[in-house]
Structure 1
Amino acid sequence: MSKAPRLLVVGGVAAGASCAARARRLREDAEIIVVERGPDVSFANCGLPYHIGGEIGAREALAVQNPASLKAMLNLDVRTGCEAIEIDRAGKRVSVRHLSAGSVEWIGYDKLMLAPGAAPIRPALPGIDDPRVFTLRNLQDMDRICAAADAGSRAVVIGAGFIGIEMSEQLHAREIAVHLVELQPQVLPHLDVPMAALLETELRRHDIDVVLGDGIAGFEPGNDKLLCRLNSGKLLEADMVILSIGVQPDTALARSAGLELGPRGHIVVDAFMRTSDPDIYAAGDAVQTRDRISDTPTALPMGGPANRQGRVAADHMFMPAQARPYPGSLGTAIVRGFHVAAGITGWSEKRLLAAGRACQSVTVNDHQHATYFPGAKPLTLKIVWNPESGALLGAQATGFEGIDKRLDVLATAITAGMTIDDLCHLELAYAPPFGSAKDAINIAGFAACNRRDGLVRHVTELPRDPAFQIVDVRPKPLAEAFPAPVPVLNIPFPTLRANLDKLDRSRPVVTLCAFGKMSYFAARVLAQHGFDVASFSGGIKANIDPRTPARHPTA
């Protein structure tokens, strides 16, 4: 584009704002117009729950920019309260309705960016239109929820994914009694069941009523309360309801323009974020990109990918020869529930198995820094890899501190195509306040290589078949304080070699301990003495059912 081009951006939040800002840095002479249906642009929507709970005190902190500041800083023509209603692809123009006045104008473009985002799912349920049923997408939604929280004391949060967890925590901070309802049999359904257990326990410890394996059937209004009827028939009383059951792409404009859409309604784009019309780009929650693990189409409604996609699109518009393609997404995500954090990058084991993909996994327990330094807190890592190549396919982490650090390292490792062997020798920052000489990531690599090399067999469930001998190698006081859920023979590891005669060599053995380390050591001893033995992966701390009365480490 030699002459001064006009870029029209539809949608002024993550992807749209990122695209417009990058475009300005590349072309000072470009005319850049941003139209946004809502009253705000470039706001921090991921921070909305934390203002509701009071952790982000100033509402203005979430309004990162406004039309005036974007004009002053980037010379952008930002028009809020303007809804794009039609694209004339042949004439390269967009019909825009000014919502306050009701007038309509056509705005021409050389390049068009579509960043309409996604809308919260509101299923067609009885009573769904009750004004006490909320979703959270923008600052106005946030304001309405804050007002409802000021007036009420009971909330039902539908959906125990990332947003549902955040909202439960933040409403609790406002002294709201919270029922958290999830259709799946676990919180954080993206994670494997044991990796979500500690967070579920933490929610219950803070008096969140976690209802699993039950969905919402409808709402029944009352004079001073809203009755939430679950699929099971159970009724929960609430002053307010937060729906956090997912989003759907806002692609009606793209559909009416004849742009190619994917099977779930997302806009299909190439690696440079171009749609089926080469002069129209799209990015953010409304688009379909590539999954870095499977190289198949995926859609991730997340702020990080949206911002990076907007940049890729602007680069290709204004410096196509130097533009680098968007490489795809891993879906790296993390959430905090009170003192516990949990997150994932890449694919979970259950997702890989459901897709029929070969994989192996290990779960290890460690601490965020050296145990002899004060303040060491436990964390659990799970890695999944390709059994043929050893390449990492996914990772999950949960614990009290240092979870983001490990997830970030493992996301980088997956992106770089690293293997379980590479994890063994990652040289990570170590000093006692920050880490360990052998970080938990190194330990995960060691455990994975041990499994691959045939040094140990793992089981992820304790067998209830009486033919198995289950040997608990924890110290006796610990074994008695935190009993295993199945009958065991307690032989503390230091005494194992002296007590081999207590075991029947004709029967298989499963060893267990608190964190998985000692059970591995025990399995190696028994294997070299002729026993058919497997180790319980991750130990009781990683696999204990949070619905039992057993105690768990706290912050």
Structure 2
Amino acid sequence: MVATRTQAPDSPKILIVGGVAGGASAAARARRVNEHARIIMFERDPYVSFANCGLPYFIGGEIADRAQLLIATPELFRDRFLIDARIRHEVIAIHRATKRVMVKNLDTGEQYGEDYDKLILSPGAAPIVPPIPGATAQGVFSLRNIGDMDRIIAGMTHAKEAVVIGAGYIGLEAAEQFVHRGLKVTVVELQDQVMPFFDREIAEPLHRESERNGVRLELGRGVAAIEETNGAVTGVTLADGTRLSADLVLMSIGVRPNVALAVDAGLTIGASGGIATDAYMRTSDPDIYAVGDAAEYAFGPTGARLRVPLAGIANRTGRLAGEHAATGASRPAPAAWSTSVVRVFGYAAGIAGLSLRAARQAGFDARAVHIVSYHHASYYPGAAPIGIKLVYETGSGRVLGAQVVGAAGVDKRLDVVATLIHFKGTIEDLGELDLAYAPPFGSAKDPLHMAAFVAQNDLDGLAPLIQPDADLSAFQVVDVREAGELEELPLCDAPHAKHIRLDDLRDRLGELDPALPTVVSCRGGQRAYAAVRILAQHGFAQVYNLSGAAAMRDFALNRRSGAEPATHVDLPRPEHLVDDA
């Protein structure tokens, strides 16, 4: 039984649809700012406020205690917050004219009405299940809630081979965890790379790390059908006829916002397919708010309003919507910058803001620099490789985004960039940041500092950059690495490159034509920069630094579509870098 108390005459009655992330945050904040409001939260599933981002890790056994996934319970909401959290209750209709919703008790079938003063919609999103034969067979799963997790774990009891359809966050996290549980795993992705919204050279290390750990990648492949025998999955047939054996299939090709309730109520749906909202997360009806995966947000890099189905922005905007509903005022909702990160076995990769491809599609005159370095001083034990792609605007130098990949320190760099772009910082600002330094934690010149310095050199004309996937056939190409490095990692698609060690360059200038446009490469970019400056000051009019050098070019040009596993080349080792610490 829910505790009650005398309500003040002007206390609002707030109904919340959805009890996870945005909805739960809205409920808790509404109570904190208005002790007298009546708050009812409806959740159609058996759980409220659970850690949906932790579900793959319980499947794989990294999280051992199931109870740790349950952040709050209906009892806690009742006893601590005086919030009536009704699980297994689905709001099936909104009557805006009378400010009333219809609710269905999914356990009893009972339907009843509930009046509201303010209504907050946080219905989330549902996994996309394509209309292919066999999609409903026993052993085919999606992963969105606790019930899905439990069904997958039960299905794994006798499973030996898993096919994961979709190579986004959930797909890669689940593939990793299936491997941990001893399954043979294949990942199928319609695009020709994993994490399709990453630029190719950031995704490629994840390809190789997945293959190193036994995952088979079928990239650039569509799914034609899921095979079944006696109702149970037995395999997957790809569009080109390839057959994959499987006794467990996970669909992870994306989510579709649950907007049917809003559509039926006549609320405006935005251009991205989410519920349109204003700066305070109000919908086209000022007494109804929307947050979470079904709502649109201001997207920081462009200012457009888009769906951004990530937990962080759902929680932050849910908090503000709850405050506004309970008091009539709040700070405006923050912009979303799509900051996110994924771990794939020993590597991690993430993005903050825009990729270079997305920046150019959005109309920015964007450029990018690649840095290959280490997450802390290379001479300190345990230095792990890290690659950074920093995207910035020509002219203003405004940082538009970054992608980071590596074995350690990825999240730290992403968070710094996310903070910078939130405040519309520039490459000058990034180069001036006073970041924490000691050898176990970083370098005196952090990889982010180095990225900023290279970007400054690019915009200032000291060492103009050319992207790692550029066609080099019309350029005079100079590779300044040691001979052994060329054997280990040839410079892709540049058979005409001339090898001149950096230390020999000044003595061999006569072997080069200063009238030709020239591109210089090394392994990670630092020695090439030194060579560019030498050439530029010896009469070479057009000389460019190959951004990210041979390492990033190898990643960028690894054109894959069901290809054989790539050569396993890691980011550079310490002996190929000059440590600036």
Q: TM-score with structure 2 length normalisation?
A: 0.92
Q: Does the alignment pair 1:166 with 2:177?
A: no
Query: Equivalent residue for 1:44?
Result: 51
Matches within 5 A, 1:78-117: 78-117=85-124
- In the alignment, the residues of structure 1 paired with residue 469 and residue 421 of structure 2 have an alpha-carbon distance, to the nearest angstrom, of 30
**In the alignment, what sits opposite 1:206?**
213
1:395–1:551 CA distance, 2 compared to 1 (3 A): closer
Give the structure 2 partner of residue 459 of structure 1: 466
Task: Indicate the residue corresponding to 1:139 in structure 2.
Answer: 146
2:547 matches 1:537: yes
SS in 1 for 2:270: coil
Q: Secondary structure at the match of 1:267?
A: coil
Which deviations, in whole Å up to 9, do the C-alpha atoms of 1:495-523 show, x marking residues without a partner? Answer: 11111122233433221111111111111
Query: How far 1:466 sits from its partner (Å)?
Result: 5.3
Partner of 2:3: none
Within a 5 Å distance, the mapping from 1:169-248 to structure 2 comes to 169-222=176-229, 225-248=233-256
Shift of 1:60: 1.1
After superposition, the Cα gap between the structure-2 partners of 1:551 and 1:385, relative to the gap in structure 1 and judged at 3 Å, is closer
Distance 1:32 1:543 in 2: 56
Q: CA deviation at 1:410?
A: 0.1
Query: Structure 1 residue aligned with 2:524, among 515, 532, 542?
Result: 515
SS of 1:146's equivalent in the other structure is helix
Aligned: 1:276 with 2:294:
no
Partner of 1:343: 350
1:8–1:462 CA distance, 2 compared to 1 (3 A): closer
Is 1:364–2:374 an aligned residue pair? no
Correspondence 1:285 to 2:303: no
Matched AA of 2:522: C
1:4 equivalent in structure 2: 11
Unmatched 5+ residue regions in structure 2? 1-7, 559-564, 574-581
Structure 1 residues 465 and 12 mapped into 2: Cα distance closer, same or farther (>3 Å)? closer
Whether the aligned pair in 1 keeps the contact of 2:272 and 2:306 (CA below 8 Å) is no
Indicate the SS of the match to 1:496.
helix
Cα deviation for residue 264 of structure 1 reads: 4.3
Note the 1:342-491 alignment, pairs <5 A: 342-461=349-468, 467-485=474-492, 486-487=494-495, 488-491=497-500
Per-residue deviation at 1:225? Answer: 4.9
CA contact (8 A) 1:462 1:536 kept: no
Corresponding residue number in structure 1 for 2:261: 253
- Contact residue 14 and residue 326 of structure 2 kept, 8 A: no
Note if 1:548 corresponds to 2:566. yes
Aligned mates of 1:553, 1:177 — CA distance in 2: 27
State the 1:296 CA deviation. Answer: 0.8
Q: Give, as a single letter, the amino acid of the residue that structure 2 aligns with 1:450.
A: N
Q: CA deviation at 1:103?
A: 0.6
Change (3 A) 1:83 1:428: same
Counterpart in the other structure of 1:307: 315
CA distance in 2, matches of 1:177, 1:133: 16
Distance, in Å, in 1 between the alignment partners of 2:156 and 2:10 is 53
The 8 Å contact of residues 368 and 391 in structure 2, kept in 1 or not, is answered as yes
Deviations 1:73-121 (A, max 9, x none): 2111111011101111122111101111111111111111111000001
Relative to structure 1, the CA distance from residue 144 to residue 463 in structure 2 (aligned partners, 3 Å threshold; closer, same or farther) is closer
- Contact 1:467 / 1:507 at 8 angstroms: preserved in 2? no
What letter corresponds to residue 521 of structure 1 in structure 2? A
Deviation of the 1:337 alpha carbon: 0.1
Over 3 Å counting, the alpha-carbon distance change for 1:187 and 1:18 in structure 2 is same
Deviation at 1:482? 2.0
1:69 match: 76
Equivalent AA in structure 2 for residue 35 of structure 1: F
Post-superposition Cα deviations, 1:414-452, rounded to whole Å, max 9, x if no partner, equal: 001110111111100011111110111111110111000
Q: 2:536 and 2:568 mapped to 1: Cα distance? A: 31
Residue pair 1:225, 1:237 contacting (<8 A) in 2 also:
no
Matches of 2:571 and 2:518, distance apart in 1: 28
Contact 2:226 2:233 (8 Å CA) reproduced = no
Structure 1 stretch displaced more, 495-504 or 297-306? 495-504
User: Aligned residues: percent identity?
Assistant: 46
AA partner of residue 78 (structure 1): A
Distance apart, 1:71 and its partner CA: 1.1
Report how many residues are paired: 554
Runs of 4+ in 1 over 6 A off after TM superposition: none
Q: Is residue 22 from structure 1 mapped to residue 32 from structure 2 by the alignment?
A: no
Unaligned runs of 5+ in 1: none
Deviations 1:357-378 (A, max 9, x none): 3111111111111111111111
CA RMSD of aligned residues (A): 1.7
Q: After superposing the two structures, state which structure 1 stretch, 246-255 or 487-496, moved more.
A: 487-496
1:496 to 491, 505, 512: 505
The amino acid that maps onto 1:293 is P
Aligned-partner Cα distance in 2 for 1:414–1:319: 31
Aligned mates of 2:473, 2:297 — CA distance in 1: 50
Hey, what's the Cα distance between the residues in 2 that align with 1:256 and 1:466? 58
Q: Distance between the aligned counterparts of 1:465 and 1:58, measured in 2? A: 54
Tell me the CA shift for residue 541 of structure 1.
2.0
Residue 73 of structure 1: SS of its match in structure 2?
Answer: helix
The 10-residue stretch of structure 1 (485-494 or 189-198) with the greater mean CA deviation from structure 2: 485-494
Deviation of residue 226 (structure 1)?
Answer: 2.2
1:364–1:443: 8 Å Cα contact kept in structure 2?
yes
Q: Is the 8 A contact 2:198 2:351 kept in 1?
A: yes
Aligned AA for 2:56?
A: P
Deviation at 1:550, TM superposition (A): 4.5
CA distance in 1, matches of 2:24, 2:451: 39
* CA distance in structure 2 between the aligned counterparts of 1:136 and 1:523, rounded to whole angstroms: 50
Contact 2:352 2:414 in 1 (8 A): yes
Shift of residue 463, structure 1, vs aligned partner? 6.1
Distance between the aligned counterparts of 1:2 and 1:232, measured in 2? 67
C-alpha distance in structure 2 between counterparts of 1:387 and 1:554, whole Å: 29
CA distance in 2, matches of 1:516, 1:149: 46
Query: What is the TM-score of this pair, normalised by structure 1?
Result: 0.97
